[in-house]
Every structure is written in C-alpha cells, then in structure tokens.
Amino acid sequence: MPKGKKVKDKTKKQEPIEATLWQAADKLRKNMDAAEYKHIVLGLIFLKYISDAFEDLHTKLINAKEEYEGADPEDPNEYIAEKVFFVPPVARWKSISDNGKKTEILLANGKKVDIGGYVDEAMEAIERLNPSLKGVLPKVYARQNLDRASLGGLIDLIGTIALGSEEAKSKDVLGQVYEYFLGQFALAEGKKGGQFYTPRSVVRLLVEMLEPYEGRVFDPCCGSGGMFIQSEKFIKSHQDHYKKKGNGLSLNPLDRISIYGQESNQTTWRLAKMNLAIRGIDSSNIKWNNEGSFLNDAHKDLKADFIIANPPFNDSDWSGELLKDDARWKYGVPSSGNANFAWIQHFIYHLSPSGIAGFVMSNSALSSESIIETEIRKAIIESDLVDCIVTLPDKLFYSTPVPASLWFLVRNKLSSGFRKRENETLFIDASHLKEAIDRTTNTLSEEIIRLVANTYHDWKAENKLFKDKRGFCRSITIDNIRENGYELFPAKYIEIDAVSSSFDRTEIDELLNNNLSTNKKLLSQVNASSSEIYHQLKLPVSQSLFAPIKWIKIPLSDVLSISEERLGNNQEPEILTCTEKAGLILQRERFAKRIATEDTSKYKIVRKTDIVYNPYLLWAGAIDQCWIVDVGITSPAYEVLRIKREYDPTIIGRILKNQNLLKMYNGISVGAIQRRRRAPVEKFLSLTIKIPSVEDQQRFQSLTRYIQEEMFSLRKLNENLTEILVTICKNWMA
C-alpha cells in the first residue's frame, strides 16, 4: 500500500434502530402537527410493547412448564403476579396488524369501524382490564385528520421490531425508542416541546451529581417522567455501590427508590405514566390535577431525600396573588409576576432533614434586579442551603435558546459520608462546555457530564482531591458571596483561564494544509469577479450595469405581499426588533434582559430579504430589510412584507429605506399623539414608488452577483487567515 494513502471504509454505518424508526414514522406524519402525532406514535409503541410482553408470558403459561404448570393463560391474575399488563384478544398486536389495512372491521358488539376506531377500542379494552392505566392511553386514532393508509403503514413499521420480548427488554429497546421519540417530538414542537421534555444530557448531569442511590425521589413538575427514568438507570449502572456498602443485590434496584411526582398537563401526565409503565416503575404516586403544584400540592406532607426538577422558567401566570400567606414562603413571599423563587422555596419545603435538591433554573434567578428576589436569595444563602451552582451552555433546551443553570441545595452540610463544608459553595462554569448537534441545538457529552459531576463529588469528599481550576470551578465562602451582593453567577467568582501555551505542531500543519489550497481557489474566484466588475466600470453609461436605463412608477401592493407566517409550535429563532435609528437588530443585543413574551407562538416569522416596519414609528424611519438572519421572529405588532419574485430584493430594500420616503411615511401615519401615530399596512401598500424597470433589475442582479461572489470569497479568505493567526497566536500567549 502506498505510504500515506488511506483506504476508505466502504461499510455503511448502521443507524440505531430508534433513529431508523423515527425517520420512517416521520415520513408517515405528512401534514399532521407534531403535537398531535406524538400521541398516535407513542401510544402505538406502548401498545406493541405490552402486547409483546403479554405474548411472551402467554406462551410460557400455555406450555405450562415448571412454575407455570396448571396456570390459565387467559386469567388476568396470572399476569398481575408477574407485573405484566393483561391484553385482551382485541388489543393483541396480531389483531391490530391483521386489521391494519382493512377499511371496515366488525367488532364483537356488532359495531363497524375502520382501523382508527379499532385501535381506540383496543385502548379502551386494555384500560378496562388494567386499572393502573385508566385514563392514560390515547384514544385519538378515529379522528378524521389521521390518514388511514398512514396509520396502517405506522402499524406495519412498529410491528417490525420486538419491543416487549425478554431479549428486547434486557436491551431496553423500547425504553430507547420511546425516549428517542420523545426527544424528537420535543425538537419538532420547539418551544412547546420543552413543556414535557428535558434534554437527556441535562437530566443525566443532574442525576449523576445527585446520586439517588436510595430514598424518596420527588419531581413536582415531572413532565414525561425523564428524571425518574434516569434515576432508575443510575441505580442499575451503579450496582457496585451496594456491594461496597454490604447491602447485597437481592433487592430489585427499582425497589431502592420510591418516586413521587406531579404534573398539571393531563396529556403530558399520560406520557409520563406510559413512560414509567414500560420500565416497570410504579407510577401510583405520579399525580395529576389542573391546578398544579402551587395551588394544589398533591404531596403536601412529603419530605423527599432527592428533589430533581426542571420547572417552567420565569412563569408569570402562577396565581401568586392567591398564595401570599402560604407556609412554603419561609424565605420571603415570591413576586406574583415570576415563579422562579416560588419553585425554589417549594423544593426547599419538601426536602427531608438530610435531603438534597438539584434543579434547572433560569440564569436570571442568579442575579435578579428585583428587590423581592434579591432578599429571598439572600435569606436562602444566609441559611447555608446553597451547595453548588453550575452555569450551562446555551441552546440546550428546546423551549428557549437562553442559557440556564443548575442549583444544588442541601439541608445539612455536616451530614455523614461527606466532609463538613458549612458556609462554603462550589461554583462551576460549564457555559463553554458543549457539543453541537446542529446550528440551533447543543448537548453535553459523556465526558462533560463526568467532568462536572466528578468535580462536585471531589469537592464534597473527605479525601481532599478537589482543587480550584481557573476558568472552570472555585470553592467560595459565604463572606465572599456577601461582598458580591449575594449574586450567584459562577463567572463572578471564577478567575478567567489563561490561554493554553502548549504547542501542537500537528494542529498547525493540518490547519495550514487545509486552508492554503482553499485560499488559492478563493483568490482565483476573487480575481475573476474583480475582472468582470472592472470591465463594467470601463463601459459607457449606456452599456454599463451601473445605472438603470428606464424608471417606472408602481404601487407597493404590486411589489410586496403581506406575510402572516407565525412561529406556532416551531423552535424559537432569534427575536428581532425594529428601531428608527438602528433598523432591524437582534433583540438580545439591544436589551440586557428578554423583553419578548415567554409565549412567542404568535410572533411573525421574518425571512431574509423581508421588509419589516414598526407601524408606530414608520414616520421616524423604523423600517428595514432583514439581512442579519436567515430566519427570525418579530412582534405581532410589526408589519412583515415579502418581496415578490419578479423584483430584485436588494433594490427594493434600498428604495424603501431611502430617507426621501419619510415624508410619504409621515403622510400615511394617523393619530393625535406624535409618538403613537400609526401607519396601517393598507395605506403603506397603496403608496406609489419609482423603481428601475424589471429588465434593469435583472441587469442589476447580474452585477450584484459578481460583487456578492467576491464579498463571499473575501470573507471566507479572511476567516481562514484569521483561524491560522489565532492558532499561531495562542502558542505565544501565556
């Protein structure tokens, strides 16, 4: 083999079964909303699982060997004893599969249904014979907007994998499929998805830091139950802990913890009940009520050993005005406009004397300007409850791109098994530790999870392995926190890390080799574009592309169309605001705090080259064209206009931003108060403007294409050279 020549591996990487299933299931979704489709898919997966588990035991009972001798395969009690759901004949997967393509099915009661109605009947039959599932299973398959051919295809797809067999259960196939699908649906639903799903990597980090080996685990806003699932996985993966403790392994790991939860959204509660049922986890203490944990605490007397939660961020609609005298507010009455410190005190209230709480919280709670929140945070700090704070990277959560933090609160810092650490708090800055999934989503790798969790454990341990690390972690006394106004931002206490001075010749060589050939191509493109631009400059005006030959007058309604495209349940992109001086800008760069509402589903979508104007400030010049993002959203109060295809967006955008049009904008603005004069979109579109002819615009496009190509090439060239410079410079900095 020639030296240095690599042989390509032609073997195709096999995707995990859950990813393959998802791709196939998503194709069958067609135009159905992800929020609806998830119940259809997850319900069928659950039905397939319990049917497979039933058939596995049913076969053993029929064979009547050893302990099953004399058993009745159709007696529900035989299945209860083995913790298996009894599945009646109508709901067994073979019956579902056999009827999947039929347009008319005759039920035992004489009723005729299609496959959708048949699956609903199967769900009802299961609930009647299994009280723990009553009101849990989805009965949504008979709805008109569910294509029957797609439903039959979905049944065939899910039927291709054994989900409840002994082998599948030992590999946790269903758990992987169900959890993967939950995550994919949360991603598809965007902001709404965050209401029922916390990204797995965040849950893993919480559980690894809490170490819930045994005791009562409580999540008062449990969503689809991911915190409980991960706690159970933690126990299974740490069985050596029980050997060391001399506790033996005779006790089922699932019996070492008891779980308690509450959820106010009934459909999400159903997801949690199914999620736990397929893992064999007792969900009898997972409660649902419409009022939620604040107004109707379903576990008032519970004192938990572990609290693990991801409550809604900055919730302004939590009925705080009705709870001013609540016993839970030991450290101060929370603001009725923000539930962050209501949740924090709810967690503290439910902690046992030796308990620990780990939860996700908005970064605003670390250093809020609110006097009420500052006083509550001060009281909690002075009570020495704050054990550790971890800041997380951005783009981890589907519900918001805003970064969050993990809080760990303990009742007793003198508890046995750990070193005495009263009046100390560990700060960890993990905001820079992330692994990109795509442009809008990050995750925490296993290495990051281990690093952060081990740092916390080393800090608590008596062996004194912990050391402060510049740029990452630091142990701080309460005196230092007092001096800093009771703020809890880790970055305030952790020294910035110096740039590494380790020299990596391989890195430099690889970077240079990769970039130099690219730079040669870019320079060639720049030369070609420059030649064409120079040629145009030399031509007479009558032939050049640098000036239009013909101008036309045209109403804006012929050039622009009103866009009413809304965000809906999609993931939230950048939020844009339009000002009279700066034009269209990113809201986060203009304001220190988020000013958009938490629910942005009604915000208007803005796409590149769209025209956006503020109706109340158009007279002052608050109009701009979107070039700063490919896709963003803006206030429903703004007008978003899309340029029709036959017109050049660059020309139209420039003309509409021309200061000479301000008089026209002022003329269509109505209202007695100058700062609140409004320019209706109907009047805006009725304006007549002067633009180059369509033919001239096409000539213009050919010129701008050359210029844009050169700008792109130069920008890439600059990026490559900058990357080389940064890599070299870091080896010269201490």
Q: What is the pLDDT of residues 166-223, one digit of tens each?
A: 655 544 566 567 767 777 776 665 555 455 568 889 999 999 999 998 899 999 999 8
Token pair 């010269």: residue: 732
Beta-ladder partners of 408: 358, 388
Average pLDDT over residues 651-662: 85
- pLDDT of 509 higher than 60: no
207-254 tens-digit pLDDT: 999 999 889 999 999 988 888 888 877 777 666 665 555 554 455 656
**Mean pLDDT (whole number) for 592-613:** 82
What pLDDT score was predicted for residue 712? Answer: 61
Question: In this structure, what are the phi and psi dihedrals at residue 8, rounded to the nearest 5 degrees?
Answer: -75, 135
DSSP summary character for residue 620:
G
Q: Looking at the predicted structure, is the pLDDT value of residue 499 above 50?
A: no
Q: How far is CA 314 from the centre of its chain?
A: 16
Question: What's 623-687 look like in SS3?
Answer: EEECCCCCEEEECCCCEEEEECCCCCHHHHHHHHCCHHHHHHHHHHCECCCHHHCECCHHHHHHC
| pLDDT computed for residue 4 by the predictor | 40
pLDDT band at 521 (very low <50, low <70, confident <90, very high): low
Q: CA-CA distance, 263 to 282, in Å (whole number)?
A: 16
Residues of the chain with CATH 3.90.220.20: 551-692
pLDDT score at 11: 39
Going by pLDDT thresholds of 50, 70 and 90, the confidence category of residue 9 is: very low
Domain with CATH 1.20.1260.30 in the chain: 17-179
CATH number (3.90.220.20, 1.10.8.870, 3.30.70.141, 3.30.1370.160) of 551-692 reads 3.90.220.20
Q: What topology is assigned to 17-179 in CATH?
A: Ferritin (1.20.1260)
Cα first-last separation, the chain: 43
Average pLDDT over residues 75-97: 91
Q: Looking at the predicted structure, is the pLDDT value of residue 676 above 90?
A: no
Residue 256 pLDDT class (50, 70, 90 cuts): confident
pLDDT of 641 higher than 50: yes
* Contact present, 658 and 611 (Cβ < 8 Å): no
Secondary structure class of 419 (helix, strand, coil): coil
Percentage of the chain beyond pLDDT 90 is 36
The pLDDT score that the predictor gives to residue 349 is 97
Q: How confident is the model at residue 504 (pLDDT cuts 50, 70, 90)?
A: very low
| pLDDT of the residue at 519 | 57
Confidence band for 280, pLDDT divided at 50, 70 and 90: confident
Q: Which two tokens stand for residue 262?
A: 């509450």
| 163 or 256, which is more confident | 256
Token representation of residue 444: 């925490």
How many angstroms from the chain centroid is the CA of residue 195? Answer: 9
538 pLDDT exceeds 60? no
Question: Per residue in 422-456, is it b (16+ CB within 10 Å) or e — as a string?
Answer: eebbbbbbbbebbeeeeeebbbbeeebbebbbebb
- What rounded mean pLDDT belongs to the chain? 81
Residue 671, pLDDT > 60, answer yes
Average pLDDT over every residue of 494-507: 50
pLDDT above 50: residue 502: no
Return the HEC string of 510-578.
HHHHHHHHHHHHHHHHHHHHHHHHHHHHHCCCCCCCCCCCCEEEEEHHHHEEECCCECCCCCCCEEEEE
| pLDDT score recorded for residue 40 | 86
Poorest-pLDDT segment among 125-129, 250-254, 435-439: 250-254
How would you classify the pairing of strands 688-692 and 604-607?
unpaired
Predicted model pTM: 0.63
Alpha carbon distance 637, 650 (integer Å): 25
Sorted by sequence, the CB contacts under 8 Å of residue 434 that are 6+ apart come out as: 393, 394, 395, 396, 442, 443, 444, 448
Q: Any idea which of 122-136, 361-375, 470-484, 714-728 has the lowest mean pLDDT? A: 714-728
For the stretch 726-733, contacts whose Cβ atoms lie closer than 8 Å and that sit 24 or more positions apart, written own/partner, are: 727/507, 727/508, 727/511, 728/508, 730/499, 730/500, 730/501, 731/501, 731/502, 731/503, 731/504, 733/498, 733/499, 733/501
Indicate whether 673 pLDDT > 80.
Answer: no
Q: 6-10, 139-143, 472-476: which range is least confident on average? A: 6-10
Per DSSP bridges, beta strands 351-362 and 639-643 are: unpaired
Q: Above 50 in pLDDT, residue 501?
A: no
pLDDT in tens, 370-389: 899 999 999 999 999 999 99
**Euclidean distance between CA atoms 529 and 521, whole angstroms:** 13
Contacts of 432 (CB under 8 A, 6+ apart): 393
Between residues 45 and 712, which one has the greater pLDDT? 45
- 58 in Cβ contact with 73 (< 8 Å): yes
pLDDT above 70 for 556: yes
pLDDT of residue 52 exceeding 80, the answer is yes
pLDDT above 60: residue 606: yes
pLDDT-based confidence at residue 423 (cuts at 50, 70, 90):
very high
